Amino acid sequence: MLSKKSLARTSVLVPLLFLAVLAAVPFVAHFMEQPFYVTFFARIIIYAIAATALNLALGYGGLVSLGHALFFGLGAYSVAIPAFHGIDNGWVHLLVCIASCGLVGLLTGAISLRTSGIAFIMITLAFAQMGYFVFMSLKQYGGDDGTTISSTSKLLGLDLGSPNTLYAVGLVILVLATWWMARLRISPFGMVLRGARQNPARINAIGFPGRRYQLSAYVLSAVLCGIAGMLLANLNAFASPTTLSWIISGDLIVMVVLGGIGSVFGPLLGAIAFLGMEEVLKAVTEYWLAIFGPIILLVALLGKTGILGLLEKFDSQLELGNAKAKAAGKAAALADSGPLSMKAGEMP
């Protein structure tokens, strides 16, 4: 639960305001007759979910994975392949997504965690590229051209092929995932996980199997990232091997770093900043990457803890200023009351 004091902090208030804005987007888009806004912000929500998933492995567990696009793509094809065979039951799509991402995450995570550092990054990248070329070779499902999805996911009477429906479902998942990350951060599991990131030898020495905790986080991260891919497939009514590209993994890492590694609201802010700047710069110039790259670099250099870190720094300076003002006020009050107290003591 958020206290009144935490709600007054900029680092909490700004992300909550962004969530409120996201909730209002469909109504504004309908009023302005601009359905593009719903599609664009739905994409932001989906990537924010995927970045939140990566943040669990990267931010909490210290696992720098360059292969999360593998799970993103598996989620997309969990809709596309059943739909190709005429299955539009959303529960089947979700079951296939969770089972495939969980199993692949368990196998690749168990192997990858036998390494660390650069080796871990490279082996996760290798697994993602293996998945990419596997789906490239599936000519039955379009190969490198991808495949259209004629039957989108339908569950609980909802059709995720409808942009407004998908938007609402995605926003609910994002809010729940963010809340879950906040609870997980202060839970015993989260504390052991963060401890394993900082000092795995000490965590193992006190009796906690750090690698098992990291593997569990990796599998949970894979499943949540797969659900984001499932939503993207329904949004685009299309799935292709490009969703398994290492570029997607790189984009997710940039979003997490940009927003703030290991923070609760960082992935949300990172996804909004990344995709928002991309869209604005694309409208300005065709050479938008030449501007976009230095901006990302500048943010990373000025705020090593990301956008949320800059907001937290602003909160700290504000609290320090308030504390100094209060101290000065008390000192002034004591100085004013001192002579009066003395004179009052001298009166008969």
Query: What are the structural domain ranges in the chain?
Result: 8-269
Helix (H, G, I), strand (E, B) or coil at 205: helix
Examine the pLDDT at 261 and tell me if it is beyond 80.
yes
Query: For the chain, how long is the longest CA-to-CA vector?
Result: 105
What count of other Cβ atoms lies within 10 Å of the Cβ of residue 58?
Answer: 24
Q: Which of 120-124, 147-151, 318-322 has the highest mean pLDDT?
A: 120-124
pLDDT in tens, 273-316: 999 999 999 888 888 888 888 887 887 776 667 888 888 888 77
CA distance 124 to 119: 9
| Two structure tokens written together for 338 | 């001192």
d(Cα 272, Cα 167) in Å, to the nearest integer? 15
- The structure tokens listed for 58 are 């990267």
pTM: predicted TM-score of the whole model, two decimal places? 0.90
The two three-digit tokens of residue 94, written as one number: 């979700």
Instruction: Give the residue, 286 or 338, on which the prediction is more confident.
Output: 286
Q: Is the dihedral of CA 28, 31, 32, 38 positive or negative?
A: positive
Instruction: Write down the mean pLDDT value for the chain.
Output: 88
Asked if pLDDT for residue 57 goes beyond 50, the answer is yes
**What's the pLDDT tens digit per position in 59-98?**
999 999 999 999 999 999 999 999 999 999 999 999 999 9
Q: Please state, in angstroms and rounded to a whole number, the distance separating the CA atoms of residues 205 and 35.
A: 56
Contact 147, 80 (CB under 8 A): yes
